[in-house]
Structure 1
């Protein structure tokens, strides 16, 4: 069938995608079969032989049974099911393109009515999973009456019983693997339909494990590189315990933050609440009371507290008052001493971390003068204003120029604004009281995060626990929590199989189950929300649609029709959860898991319409296929017109209606209207100053096309989310940007990412994008590679994190991801001012204790973090690190030079054995040539040859035809003969050409000659000096002193110096204190190996040699000489007693205490 104009080009992509889609659909069917929604006989070989022609010997099963089940049954109302006309061209054209009608009656042994009867007990499900994707002349699903356009899949692929073996080595599964049909495989599993609990009650294939299967499927094919390699996509299945923990911590932070705005006082270490940015700091009122909130929902003061106050700003405020800015002085003269409306104003008032220009305590009013002499940066103003408004204060901005040029007009403006904000009832100034009573209509209970039934366990933690315990909450507290949940917006920017969105759904569901078991609060909120939306979008003529939509809500909550969880899940999915992924099939899989989750809470009843099953919602506008990392190019400083705002709202409301659309006619009509609105929006945006390209992108973004992937992402235009998300969570991919010739680096280098580094990894960009997508105070929680903590490319990211508020860092050791080749960590970070309160923990494995318990018992507090490597250690370990770095001088400040070993580009040609060296020398024609040739062939050490204080030379030599020598190969005929006798010259050439038919590729393209090494090696003379040699990647951190003119390969570094004592450095490098620092500061590779690249090694803090410590240094040098002499005699000689002496001398150089030494030695 036709997929696009270039059939062969995308064949592998097409086949892989279509196969995954097929498996997705069949496994979904297998799950709903457990609810008796599909008859077992459709998978019974004996029965199928009786009704399907040539069953088992053809492709008829897929066409006659599965395609008709997918497209004409599950995607069509029961009352509308029928066969498409099959006859001549004119008869057929009446049903052409209608993909919800049965086909292939010629493939059945039974008649048309019997076929309809076969499928009659299957309900209509909707949801888009079974939409036929054929369009015009593009046949993707191949559901066609035309045999030439029909998809063909052999029956044996569904029902084969291990009849043959196949080669699956391409997929990492080995050769000669026995295969079975898909249906036969599924029959061997006990399927269950519940994935909401963390522990399976039986050995079963549940949807969560299904997610794991699909994560492997997604990772098995990388459409960007057309390679079938799991690690190519950089995606890994995240263990359930990790997902649950990350979801819990994100929701705790969100709920505590959100509830604090409703009058509760949370206790979450380091989380900055939008109403009180320093919940973890000592901000107190003048009378020592905390400031949780000023006003209720209607502007009524609930409780009068003094404002939060940071005493460290007192001197700064005094300086600002003395500065006498002209516009401030002019306005102050008008409002001071209660001369303006009798109101009492303060100047340069400290509120929290901010100093505001003017503050009126009578009104809770802040006046800010904006101008060039003020810090008027947009982000700062937004953060400050949000903070002040969440305290219940009103903020008015006045232009500096207006004060100077039109002071009278400014005063009139202030009068009119103050008339809009009268002194609120209940305010102290209206009753002559200092502190008014709490508003009785809204009882404030105990701290929402206070310990409850179980000592030390806060209420929100209990709500998130799968235990039966329910915390004691007032009705108002319950209402507030339900409202906070209803307002939540959460995004997974690389959702894959949907593990994190599904984890969020289950935990929100759990909370609602506990605090609103009858759904009374949830129902009220959803009905009020729907009524508002209906008022906005429908006019009086739409009363029928209005009644239908309200009926839908009532039915969703009707426990006679559905389990109570159905309504909870439905509206959580519609209003709270969003996902993005670059792979269309990943979006399909995510939607599948949500469909299963909704199906299981519906009650099957044969007596009811559609057997009591509500058709599934359409999730096309909840999970979109797009490139999260490329934003829409918005023009700066553009004023959005009222027309754009109206169209945006219309599109948002239309997509809410599409979510519930049931029939194909409804959906097509709404899709058509959506397209019309997008076109209008594009035209309006162009009028506002948007480029044609950006406007067209918005117009052409079609969320309903399941095969399309947008090459950009924008939360406002795609989801209608303008103000940012409350939570961004996920496991973004790990792919080096420089792979595949730097393809990804080129794609993202112009996207203005602060954290971009060509040598970096794509997940660093996901961190930055995730924080951009958050609203102020929002939380990001990712699990990624932990390389950013120490890697050079992570420097920008570490600096970026310090500009926000990191809250929790868990470094995960090997074994958490079964098949991953990288170690990972979890970071929870808030889009807020950094409070330097980062809890951290190194977790080697998930033990019997939960992750939360281990964090609570073993975490440490990290402070003073910056762009340098992040090290997780106790306060004592951190103090020791600071001491070592304070006393030592970084290696980069020493008189040393560090060089990489020789990179030949073809080691099998340039690194030779002693036997081969002798053979080459034997072919020399005279002594002069022999001497020239012998001088060119150098002894070489590899990384693996470097041991502690000694080397194990393997008798290898390097043919040193370095380009820097500018050699004439004709002067070395024996070497030329060696090269040409043993290698094809095309392999030796440095052209970059590939010769797959010859089984080799040429070396990397350079300007060097065929007989020369790949690198210039202009520093070749350094190898023949006194030097220190060490491997570039090592688990054991060995260093050797060499004065025997050894060269090294590219797996080693050499260090030379004219002034520094290399024997002292050798002793220091091999010391315990050096190893401790290197392990804490150099990137850890798989298996505990450390990478000693210069960018890390250069910061090693070494005690400088002074007149005071020269005697200690001399002792170290003497001990190194003893060790070297002993190892020269016998490499296996035990020199540990001398090495211990060196360790003790190095401790003295740092003046370490016994407790500090114990830390170094792991005691």
Structure 2
């Protein structure tokens, strides 16, 4: 493998000149084109030149060269250099040519794959020593092999040609092709190397090491500090994360040259320059001497002292809260200054992986451009900040908190769907017009007509007035996504009016500032997540500013993005005046009511002053604390009222029991008051009173009060894992959907509908389990009744999310709708994307992981065109379960469910789990041991039964492996007939056991110690656990694994016992085996059972019991029985299978088209999942993960 020095030399030799690209092409594995020609020169003859000549300026592309070729079998791969008419100052200046070139490469040239290098023109080249490496991608075109007309995406990296950083040298070295690679190998290799997810994971892991080192240094070098010496490891990490967050923010600012000089004349290596000045500081240490004054004076105030200004040079005043100390930092500062050794920051190291802060940051080139699904940067972008810090703050607790970062493709889709619905309702605009405006924003058509003035005004007004909330905001992905969509439409409106917008940067900044200040709201229970969200919003605003904001510092977000518990707005069953929805009449004294009104007015005044205060951090902190104190006081006053009420009830109680109940309630309220007094309410508001937090949106009693849009990815946790008091508050707040075992997504749905205004839009991504689970019955009914649902996308078992580089199975589904009862005959659009995405991955030979799934999602529009059911009647979303299929199949499912007899009823509930021994080593034996025990004592045969493992269960019959179980029934069972069944002591029972079955007794005695420790045992240690159905093992039965990915039900008449990984149905007829092994039986089960990863179903008793069994007369039963016997003896019998399918289909009354639809459904699943893993003896299968 070539060295990173070689690539640096090749880049320098190239210098952006297409005629000098040969060394670079060779390094990257291409055959160089010795005299590349400009393919845009010469006469216009159609093809590639015509593609650019559709605009007079050629879309900003001056010249286009093919400088390298590679043969991947019969296909060609090209290396291209595009010379731009104007390089521009920002990445956005290259958007139009980049998009056109990417589309030209995908649609117009013969190369099956290509890499493009964008370079400045020859006049700019001496001053601009950089090039943009672009990988055009089109998931649709690649998978179908045709021009689909869909947008082409790209991934880019901006490389310094004179002195490339370590990350870019490694990146280009890894991109190099090798001789003999196939086209598939080239595609997979480039996709892996240019993977944004891979870079994010790598950066996060490196950043986490540096953060942990800083935290350890804090503790190790400040042992005498009165506060630091008492910090936990987690608190030290939180402190370090806060410092690193500021440094990362400043690293983005220095990319804009805002630090070290006014008006964008600063330095892109400002923080490294400061490092080299550390010995000039009064305290000769990088952290104390330079970073502390930079954070808390240079950036936090508008008027730093003269000495600080001389030390730091120019620093802009940004306000916003990032450079205000949080409570942990205040506590640390109260104990005195802290010291962090310089070695934690040293930039002059080249360790791999990096161990210092500046060493890490210096090896990357950060881009100040926010990525979008179709335009991504492999260089760290602002979104990386959210992803990294969300990971850092959550760490190993992510599973407990159930938070997962939503992929940008899904964020983009959900935001656009909700915003478009809102705009259509508010303005009457058509979807075609909105789509056209977005195209205008990206690539304005020449000679296009502007919007009608009246429609433009309605759209602008609606975009300015929209109010959006994320009640589980995390690091702010949805709020950032919504802001991007708002800005995109506003750009489209402007571009529809004029060709060139001179002040576009300032316009975008103004639009963003307005959205941040007036449109975007968020709540999260994690205060660190709230800090991340605020940081990302500030950063997004800053990055579009042409120069530092002199007169308009960053907006305060303390009362827009809030730390609080979105679901808890009461305490257990104690409801407040401001609980949402607004409760009925509450008993409250006039004095308390007046006091609360005064507090609300006081808070309003404080908020106004807070918003108007910019250059006084101390005053801002005091105002924030006063507002938090007023909020806590409103809750305290109402709790005091509840306490007085409970004490009054205790005094008036006429019975002792009533008095005890009232006193218990009074004790509860006293405890809550005590807890409220101790807790820092400003840190996390709990209970969280929505009308108090957002009075401008949720005004009590106001008609139409509420948000216009609520969207979220709620935490993936079950509510029974939460505090009992919270569970009671859920019961009180969400009675229409409450279930004791529900995932809290149920309550987030209910809360969203509560805080939406009538006609407001909802966009959620959650687990899909509520669509079938028992706990979801009420939320299914509630959503179908209270919302007009417009779209549901189900991703099934696809790993859409990841954490720390690992794919996570969370069974996600997207729901888009609005707060209106559905009109009669309303249809929505539904799509199960599991099979289409799996098929596309299989076609490319790609693994099913989160990175590859997201790549396919770049063509979400194409996927929906392929898989979406466009007219799905909302009436089919029934309380008993949602089936997202073609409506004809859904109606068939409901018809079949209503005919025949449920299987559980037919077999009288006799569907049982296998035997749980508690110690297989003792009870499960092989043929040799059985023969040995029987030879020693022939009576042993009475206790030894044939035994099956999970892997032995096949379709139609079991393949016995010659194993046995010593089946000693619990003597406490009613039907047990052991000689020792009536023994009164263990000693007496053991003597009788030994006398009756000496060989078995002696064998089990070897394991006596372990057998005694089992939880699963009978009256005596040598017995199996209590069981009421031992006799049923000897009866004819159908055996199946609890996890299956195809109909593998075995019919047994030989009296097999089996382990608890399997279940069995006591079958009154072999026809039962025919039903469950049939196509229609499998199709029904696939909609009754819980789906798991890799196409498996969780076939538990409660899912089997409702399976409808059609009426079967004697003649049909006889024919099915005969066929089952044939297939049990010889399973590979297509003729018998076909006849059986016909007979079962007849019994269900299926038409030819219905049989064909079911067969097609099964075949599509088989194509999507392909070969799947085997069940192990414990009934487990590969990679089963469930965040719940």
Same fold (TM over 0.5): yes
1:353-375 CA-to-partner distances (Å, cap 9, x unmatched) read: xxxxxxxxxxxxxxxxxxxxxxx
1:424-573 to 2 correspondences below 5 Å: 448-449=429-430, 451-452=432-433, 472-515=450-493, 563-573=506-516
1:843-854 to 2 correspondences below 5 Å: 843-844=833-834, 845=837, 847=856, 850-852=859-861, 854=863
The residue aligned with 1:736 is: 718
In the superposition, relative to structure 1, how do residues 1020 and 510 fare at CA in structure 2: closer, same or farther (>3 Å)? same
Q: Of the candidates 1095, 1099, 1106, which is equivalent to residue 1092 of structure 1? A: 1099
Shift of residue 152, structure 1, vs aligned partner: 4.2
Aligned counterparts of 1:637 and 1:579: Cα–Cα separation in 2:
27
In the superposition, relative to structure 1, how do residues 43 and 32 fare at CA in structure 2: closer, same or farther (>3 Å)? closer
- Counterpart secondary structure, 1:1155: helix
Paired residues of 1:1034 and 1:1089 also in contact (CA < 8 A) = yes
Structure 2 gaps, min length 5:
1-218, 261-266, 578-582, 646-667, 699-704, 838-853, 974-980, 1164-1188
Equivalenced residues, count: 839
1:1011-1045 CA-to-partner distances (Å, cap 9, x unmatched) read: 665x6323222222211111111112210111222
Q: Of the candidates 658, 675, 684, which is equivalent to residue 709 of structure 1? A: 684
Aligned counterparts of 1:614 and 1:810: Cα–Cα separation in 2:
42
Q: Are 1:837 and 2:827 an aligned pair?
A: yes
Shift of residue 708, structure 1, vs aligned partner: 2.1
- Counterpart secondary structure, 1:1054: strand
The residue aligned with 2:813 is: 825
In the superposition, relative to structure 1, how do residues 142 and 245 fare at CA in structure 2: closer, same or farther (>3 Å)? same
Q: Are 1:651 and 2:603 an aligned pair?
A: yes
Shift of residue 1071, structure 1, vs aligned partner: 0.7
In the superposition, relative to structure 1, how do residues 208 and 717 fare at CA in structure 2: closer, same or farther (>3 Å)? same
Shift of residue 953, structure 1, vs aligned partner: 3.0
Aligned counterparts of 1:30 and 1:485: Cα–Cα separation in 2:
32
Task: Name which of structure 1's ranges 847-856 and 578-587 shifts more when overlaid on structure 2.
Answer: 847-856
Shift of residue 896, structure 1, vs aligned partner: 3.8
Q: Of the candidates 53, 68, 73, which is equivalent to residue 293 of structure 2? A: 68
Paired residues of 2:628 and 2:682 also in contact (CA < 8 A) = no
- Counterpart secondary structure, 2:1106: coil
Q: Are 1:623 and 2:561 an aligned pair?
A: yes
Shift of residue 586, structure 1, vs aligned partner: 0.9
Shift of residue 163, structure 1, vs aligned partner: 5.2
1:754-765 to 2 correspondences below 5 Å: 754-765=736-747
Q: Are 1:891 and 2:903 an aligned pair?
A: yes
Structure 1 gaps, min length 5:
83-112, 165-177, 223-229, 265-447, 521-557, 606-610, 991-1002, 1128-1133
Aligned counterparts of 2:670 and 2:638: Cα–Cα separation in 1:
6
In the superposition, relative to structure 1, how do residues 23 and 141 fare at CA in structure 2: closer, same or farther (>3 Å)? farther
Q: Are 1:126 and 2:301 an aligned pair?
A: no
Paired residues of 1:459 and 1:471 also in contact (CA < 8 A) = no
Q: Are 1:943 and 2:950 an aligned pair?
A: yes
In the superposition, relative to structure 1, how do residues 44 and 1141 fare at CA in structure 2: closer, same or farther (>3 Å)? same
Paired residues of 1:123 and 1:613 also in contact (CA < 8 A) = no
In the superposition, relative to structure 1, how do residues 213 and 697 fare at CA in structure 2: closer, same or farther (>3 Å)? same
Aligned counterparts of 2:927 and 2:330: Cα–Cα separation in 1:
62
Paired residues of 2:418 and 2:816 also in contact (CA < 8 A) = yes
Q: Are 1:970 and 2:1010 an aligned pair?
A: no
Shift of residue 158, structure 1, vs aligned partner: 6.2
Q: Are 1:725 and 2:707 an aligned pair?
A: yes
Q: Are 1:1041 and 2:1019 an aligned pair?
A: no
The residue aligned with 1:583 is: 526
The residue aligned with 1:155 is: 343
Q: Of the candidates 229, 239, 247, which is equivalent to residue 407 of structure 2? A: 239
Aligned counterparts of 1:1049 and 1:738: Cα–Cα separation in 2:
30
Shift of residue 591, structure 1, vs aligned partner: 0.9
Paired residues of 1:911 and 1:956 also in contact (CA < 8 A) = no
Compute the RMSD of aligned alpha carbons: 4.5
The residue aligned with 2:50 is: none
In the superposition, relative to structure 1, how do residues 889 and 619 fare at CA in structure 2: closer, same or farther (>3 Å)? same
Shift of residue 781, structure 1, vs aligned partner: 1.1
The residue aligned with 2:1116 is: 1112
Paired residues of 2:368 and 2:381 also in contact (CA < 8 A) = yes
Shift of residue 954, structure 1, vs aligned partner: 3.8
The residue aligned with 2:253 is: 32
1:697-754 CA-to-partner distances (Å, cap 9, x unmatched) read: 999999x979822333221112223222221101112123455999986885665544
Aligned counterparts of 2:445 and 2:230: Cα–Cα separation in 1:
56
Aligned counterparts of 1:54 and 1:916: Cα–Cα separation in 2:
83
Paired residues of 2:636 and 2:673 also in contact (CA < 8 A) = no
Paired residues of 1:938 and 1:1047 also in contact (CA < 8 A) = yes
The residue aligned with 2:366 is: 191
In the superposition, relative to structure 1, how do residues 158 and 1115 fare at CA in structure 2: closer, same or farther (>3 Å)? farther
Indicate the structure with greater helix content.
2
1:434-455 CA-to-partner distances (Å, cap 9, x unmatched) read: xxxxxxxxxxxxxx22755xxx
In the superposition, relative to structure 1, how do residues 823 and 676 fare at CA in structure 2: closer, same or farther (>3 Å)? closer
Aligned counterparts of 2:675 and 2:401: Cα–Cα separation in 1:
27
Shift of residue 207, structure 1, vs aligned partner: 1.4
Shift of residue 920, structure 1, vs aligned partner: 9.2
Shift of residue 238, structure 1, vs aligned partner: 1.6
Aligned counterparts of 2:480 and 2:920: Cα–Cα separation in 1:
52
Q: Of the candidates 422, 425, 432, which is equivalent to residue 254 of structure 1? A: 422
In the superposition, relative to structure 1, how do residues 44 and 800 fare at CA in structure 2: closer, same or farther (>3 Å)? closer
The residue aligned with 1:81 is: 305
The residue aligned with 1:285 is: none
Shift of residue 793, structure 1, vs aligned partner: 2.8
Aligned counterparts of 2:858 and 2:631: Cα–Cα separation in 1:
52
Shift of residue 1144, structure 1, vs aligned partner: 1.4
Aligned counterparts of 1:10 and 1:1007: Cα–Cα separation in 2:
51
The residue aligned with 1:407 is: none
Aligned counterparts of 1:23 and 1:1044: Cα–Cα separation in 2:
68
Shift of residue 1055, structure 1, vs aligned partner: 0.8
Shift of residue 501, structure 1, vs aligned partner: 0.8
Paired residues of 1:682 and 1:698 also in contact (CA < 8 A) = no
Shift of residue 1113, structure 1, vs aligned partner: 3.0
Paired residues of 1:562 and 1:601 also in contact (CA < 8 A) = yes
Paired residues of 2:944 and 2:964 also in contact (CA < 8 A) = yes
Q: Of the candidates 904, 924, 932, which is equivalent to residue 916 of structure 2? A: 904
- Counterpart secondary structure, 2:882: coil
Normalising by structure 2, what TM-score? 0.63
Aligned counterparts of 1:706 and 1:779: Cα–Cα separation in 2:
31
Paired residues of 1:685 and 1:695 also in contact (CA < 8 A) = no
In the superposition, relative to structure 1, how do residues 12 and 949 fare at CA in structure 2: closer, same or farther (>3 Å)? farther
In the superposition, relative to structure 1, how do residues 687 and 586 fare at CA in structure 2: closer, same or farther (>3 Å)? closer
Normalising by structure 1, what TM-score? 0.64
Q: Of the candidates 1031, 1034, 1039, which is equivalent to residue 1041 of structure 2? A: 1031
The residue aligned with 2:585 is: 638
Paired residues of 2:473 and 2:533 also in contact (CA < 8 A) = yes
Q: Are 1:1121 and 2:1121 an aligned pair?
A: no
Shift of residue 255, structure 1, vs aligned partner: 1.8
